[in-house]
Amino acid sequence: MKPEAVTEPRPPGSGLSAIYLVAASLLLVSCASRPPLPVLGQVPDFQLTSQAAETVNRHTLEGHVWVADFIFTTCPGPCPRMSSQMHEIQKATATTPDVKLVSFTVDPAHDTPAVLAAYSKHFLADSRRWYFLTGAQASLDQLGRAGFKLNPVDGSLDHSTRFVLVDRATRIRGYYSSSDDDFLKTLLRDLRQLEREKS
């Protein structure tokens, strides 16, 4: 009679480990195979003033992935929520300080740098990364209409509640509705993809 083959005991959980390794490999493959985000436009040149009374223009942001929105400080509606959401993006990208955040005012007559500075402190904005910008109404109107294709800046204070994702070459790569439940998750996923993208 042949002796029975001795099977080496497998360490507990070794089967699960193999499954996790396969799953992780598949996840890496799926991330690597995601198609590039579409190019939806180009941010035109601009020259505006930050809450720190510093000049910020398109060249300030070149080489950075950034997120933009349009707000105003006396907004009784969606702006506080949007600024809170932008603060969440600031926290989620704390380990990647090259990511910038830009909030353009649609009320430049009221939102001076000093007013924007007070507003930014309320939302714990890091002034090295999150710019609140004001300036000539015509410049902001050009940005809102032709640049971002979101809204005019014409004194009506009507504005879009979408966020915009911009790449290192100042090209628009995504729009995200702030009212969607999972928009932050989607925006951050796409932002990470742009960070990996070679410009």
Question: What digits encode the pLDDT tens for the residues 105-141?
Answer: 999 999 999 999 999 999 999 999 999 999 999 999 9
Taking 60 as the threshold, does the pLDDT of residue 33 lie above it?
yes
Crossing angle of helices 79-92 and 183-196, rounded to 10°? 40
23 within some domain? no
Which pLDDT score, from 0 to 100, does residue 29 have? Answer: 42
Closest residue by Cα to residue 162 from 146, 143, 180: 180
108 within some domain? yes
Which pLDDT score, from 0 to 100, does residue 199 have? Answer: 58
Higher pLDDT, 139 or 199: 139
82 within some domain? yes
In the chain, % of residues over pLDDT 70 = 83
Which pLDDT score, from 0 to 100, does residue 198 have? Answer: 76
Structural domain of 109? 41-196
- CATH number, domain at 163? 3.40.30.10
Taking 90 as the threshold, does the pLDDT of residue 1 lie above it?
no
Q: Are strands 100-105 and 130-133 parallel, antiparallel or unpaired?
A: parallel
Is 29 strand, coil or helix? helix
131 within some domain? yes
Q: List the alpha helices (DSSP H) in 38-182.
A: 58-61, 79-92, 113-122, 137-142
32 within some domain? no
Q: What is d(CA 21, CA 85) in angstroms, rounded to the nearest whole number?
A: 34
Backbone phi and psi for residue 130, each to the nearest 5 degrees, phi listed first:
-115, 110
Domain count, the chain: 1
Q: What is d(CA 129, CA 51) in angstroms, rounded to the nearest whole number?
A: 12
Taking 70 as the threshold, does the pLDDT of residue 78 lie above it?
yes
Section 161-187 average pLDDT: 97
190 within some domain? yes
Section 170-179 average pLDDT: 97
CB 187 within 8 A of CB 65: no
Taking 70 as the threshold, does the pLDDT of residue 85 lie above it?
yes
Higher pLDDT, 73 or 20: 73
Q: What is d(CA 116, CA 72) in angstroms, rounded to the nearest whole number?
A: 9
Higher pLDDT, 24 or 166: 166
80 within some domain? yes
Q: What is the CA radius of gyration of the chain?
A: 23
13 within some domain? no
